[in-house]
Amino acid sequence: MQPKGRAIFHVDMNSFYASVEMAYDPTLRGKPLAICGNPAERKGIVVTSSYEARKKGVRTTMTLWEARRLCPELLVLRPNFERYRKASSEMFKILQEVTPVIQPVSIDEGYMDVTDYAHLGSSLEIAQTIQNRILKELDLPCSIGIAPNKFLAKMASDMKKPLGITILRKRDIPELLWPLPIEEMYGVGEKTAEKMRSLGIKTIGDLAHKDIYQLKRIFGINGERLANRANGLDDRPVDPEAVNSFKSIGSSQTLPQDTTDDKELDKLLRDLSRSVEKRMHRKEAIAKGIQLMIRYHDRKTITRSMKLQHFMESANEVFNHAQSLLQKHWNGEPIRLLGVSVFDVAEKKDVGKQLDLFTYEKEASKEGLYQAIDQLTAKFGKNPFQTLHSSASDSIRTSFQKDFLDDYKK
């Protein structure tokens, strides 16, 4: 007996941040709009833009001065994260009314498995209902890809924007998928696309027909994986529990202007370390590895990492190791962006404090301080030495896209 075919949706909100702002203020509709980390700075980075702005050439990650050069009439707003969180939450609530089998992958997109919900109508009818509800109730547009697996659903959702619904069956692959340029394939980054083009792989169809052994030799296991995707093969389930898993926790930020100022770089490293500490605390996690990303003024990017002998969880520990990596690997050229992330992450409840001799002595030396703080906390009701973090930020950190997952799973 043939196994039942799956019906997978990829729901992708269209120009999400800009669309939320337009829903909040309808006078913005039809106008070129950009959401920018720091509109006061010429080198502020465009986070997203409306379709009207995109028609003028405005793109994500473009500097504000570049965007305004292309579109002088561009309207610019600072991001309102709480507004976006609320809109995202309401969107996922609508999806949950259809099926509990949902896998959010960012604040504005997620997969759904509606295989067992034929009683609600055909896949197309269910998708139309979802799209209409999100538009009517939230005043937000979305595109939906319908396919037998996650990869094809993701590719399908990109084919018609805004407010598109695309069905991509396996029999449609030669006509709809294979002619697309290789750089438009989900999972193929800029460098991989460049290498593939050097091998004569210019379209997704070229990849689908390329020799698997040659791909594995050049790209490793990922070469075989991408070739399978190009042929429409993807057996990954829609996993609601994936929202609870994490391999690394990080944060990065673009500087207002390229700099070689040690003090400015140290300040940013401290801010990023606090952000990582906050996210680790929210996830009740600890980590044994740290990675530093440096992007220079010419966009050249390097990453350097180190593994530790013991787990860390405080901002000071993260900062000290990140600073060490910066001092060791920075070539002195102006820096545009820094990123700090921790890996080898584990949940506290699953890992007992693994104290080697060094850690034991370090912890023991602080015991008197801990007891004093506990006594003051008992007296005043709150740790009086707890670091206060401002909720406002002049720049956008990339962790926001992942932070919403913490709220989703609560």
Terminal C-alpha separation, the chain: 40
Confirm if 359 and 332 have CB atoms less than 8 A apart: no
Residue 66 designated active-site: no
Asked if residue 108 belongs to a known ligand binding site, the reply is: yes
Class of residue 239 by CB neighbours under 10 A (exposed 0-12, middle 13-18, buried 19+): middle
Of 329, 342, 312, the closest CA to residue 265 belongs to 329
The catalytic position among 109, 125, 333, 347 is 109
- Please name the residue ranges forming H helices in 284-356: 315-329
* 297: three-class secondary structure by DSSP: coil
- Asked whether the CA dihedral 100, 103, 109, 111 is positive or negative, the reply is negative
DSSP 232: T
271 is in an annotated binding site: no
Neighbours of 237 (CB within 10 A): 15
Residue 275 to residues 244, 270, 290, 391, 401, Cα–Cα distance (Å): 19, 9, 14, 11, 13
Cα–Cα nearest to 14, from 140, 128, 193, 102? 140
Taking a C-beta distance cutoff of 8 angstroms, is the pair 81, 60 a contact? no
Residue 386 gets which letter from DSSP?
A: P
Task: State the binding site for Mg(2+).
Answer: 12, 108
- Residues belonging to the active site: 109
